[in-house]
Structure 1
Amino acid sequence: MGQAHDVLERARAARLEGRYEDALRDHLWFHENALSVEPGMAGVRLSFALRDWIYLAEKFPLARRALQGLRDRDTAKMLNGGESRDLFRDIVAINSALGEERATHDLFERMDIQMAPLAQQCADLALPALVAAEDYALARRYLGDPIARVKGLAANLNAYTQELVKTGGTSSAPALLSFVLNYTKEVRLVVEVLRREDEEALAAQASQAALDDLTSDALRDAVQREFDTPGATIAAMVQHARANTTEH
């Protein structure tokens, strides 16, 4: 493991030991420097690291204010010529961790006016926040062809599944279930926007395409279960983890 990983582990240990200022110092370093020393930590930086930061904020309010400060700094940068999809992704992830999706919506509204081409590039990242804010009209404008969008999502899931089949092994099951969960979430967003905009027929077509375009019966069954019973995929992930623990 590299330096960035070690700093994140150190932040977690400091939090658990009640050394909150040390933990915050390490979180700040990790967020600002991790990618320069370990580019492979990109996913961790915007998921597990932010989750741990929020855990710290529950004990140490200054940590929340520090994270909001980073978000505000990056938002100002976006609106003053430093715009990029990667920077917007950072802002979206921080707002999601903070439970402040409205801030993502408000920023995207300004991007729609000031930098429409970039807004188009970032629309997929903004969609959950637009739906959370119930701004279905703005979401629909950037949805494009919803059937093509769903087919593209299905093609990605098919390709990912085929790659996992090549590698084999049951260890890939949690990753696949996670991908299925994300797929169903994205499809649901598309369908909800269409329904809220009174495009019921198109919503039904999108829902059907989300199943018809999957190439595996097992995959189709897993997606159908999640559509029918939201949370079924998470339950399957927990069951798999417990079974794995029992085996070892």
Structure 2
Amino acid sequence: MGQAHDVLERARAARLEGRYEDALRDHLWFHENALAVEPGLAGVRLSFALRDWIYLAEQFPLARRALQGLRDRDTARMLTGGESRDLFRDIVAINSALGEERATQDLFVRLDIQSPELAVQCADFALPALVAAEDFMLARRYLGDPAARVQALAANLNAYTGELVKTGGTSSAPALLSFVLNYAKEVRLVVEVLRRQDEEELAEQVSRMALDELKSDALRDAVEREFETPGVTIKAMVAHARANVTEH
């Protein structure tokens, strides 16, 4: 493991030992410098690292204020000429970790007015926050062609599943379940936007297409179960993880 990964582990250890200022110092360094040192940590930086930061904030309120400060700084950059899709993704991830999706919606509304071309590039990241804020009119405007969107999502899921079949890998089951979960979430988002805009017929068409476009019966069944009982896929992921622990 590299330097950045070590810093994140050190932050975790410091939190568990009650050395909260040290943990915050390492979280700040990791967020600002990790990608320059280890570009492969891009996903970790906006997921596990932020999750750990929020754990720290629950015990050390200064950590929450520090994270909000980073968000506010990056938001100002977005609105004063430093616009980029990557920077918007950072802001969205921080707002999601903080439970402040309304801040994402507020920023996107301003981008829609100030930089509409960039808003198009950032729309995918903004859509969940727009739905959470019930700004369905703006969400629908940036949703594009719902059928084409679902077809593209299904194609990605089919391709990933096809690769698993070729390699015969069973260890990738958690990743596949994660893909299924994300696919179902994306489709539900599209359907909700359409229904809230009184496009019921198109919503029904997209819902059927989301299943019909899947090539594997097993995959179709898994997605349909998640549609019918949201959360069942997470339970399957937890069960798989526990089984692996038991086996080892």
* Coarse TM-score class (shorter-chain normalised): over 0.9
Q: Hey, what's the Cα distance between the residues in 2 that align with 1:91 and 1:123?
A: 13
Deviations 1:210-233 (CA, angstroms, capped at 9, x unpaired): 101111111101000000111110
- Please say which of residues 15-24 and 154-163 is displaced more in the overlay: 154-163
Percent identity between the aligned chains? 86
Q: Hey, what's the Cα distance between the residues in 2 that align with 1:81 and 1:166?
A: 46
- Please say which of residues 37-46 and 167-176 is displaced more in the overlay: 167-176
Is 1:30 aligned to 2:30, yes or no?
Answer: yes
CA RMSD, Structure 1 to Structure 2 (Å)? 0.6
- Please say which of residues 159-168 and 101-110 is displaced more in the overlay: 159-168
What letter is aligned with 2:113? Answer: I
Which residue does the alignment assign to 1:214? 214
Q: Hey, what's the Cα distance between the residues in 2 that align with 1:64 and 1:120?
A: 30
Which residue does the alignment assign to 1:39? 39
Which residue does the alignment assign to 2:167? 167
Q: Hey, what's the Cα distance between the residues in 2 that align with 1:167 and 1:75?
A: 43
Q: Hey, what's the Cα distance between the residues in 1 that align with 2:165 and 2:42?
A: 25
Unaligned stretches of 5+ in structure 2? none
Q: Hey, what's the Cα distance between the residues in 1 that align with 2:9 and 2:43?
A: 16
Which residue does the alignment assign to 1:17? 17
What letter is aligned with 1:196? Answer: R
Q: Hey, what's the Cα distance between the residues in 1 that align with 2:9 and 2:166?
A: 33
Q: Hey, what's the Cα distance between the residues in 1 that align with 2:126 and 2:17?
A: 37
TM-score (norm: length of structure 1): 0.99
Deviations 1:77-127 (CA, angstroms, capped at 9, x unpaired): 000111010000000000000000000000000000000011011111100
Unaligned stretches of 5+ in structure 1? none
What letter is aligned with 1:227? Answer: F
* CA displacement at 1:160 relative to structure 2: 1.3
Structure 1 runs of 4+ with >4 Å offset? none
1:85-164 pair list within 5 angstroms:
85-164=85-164
Q: Hey, what's the Cα distance between the residues in 2 that align with 1:216 and 1:122?
A: 32
Q: Hey, what's the Cα distance between the residues in 2 that align with 1:157 and 1:91?
A: 27
Q: Hey, what's the Cα distance between the residues in 2 that align with 1:176 and 1:118?
A: 32
Q: Hey, what's the Cα distance between the residues in 2 that align with 1:53 and 1:231?
A: 25
TM-score (norm: length of structure 2): 0.99
Q: Hey, what's the Cα distance between the residues in 2 that align with 1:67 and 1:233?
A: 31
Q: Hey, what's the Cα distance between the residues in 1 that align with 2:14 and 2:162?
A: 41
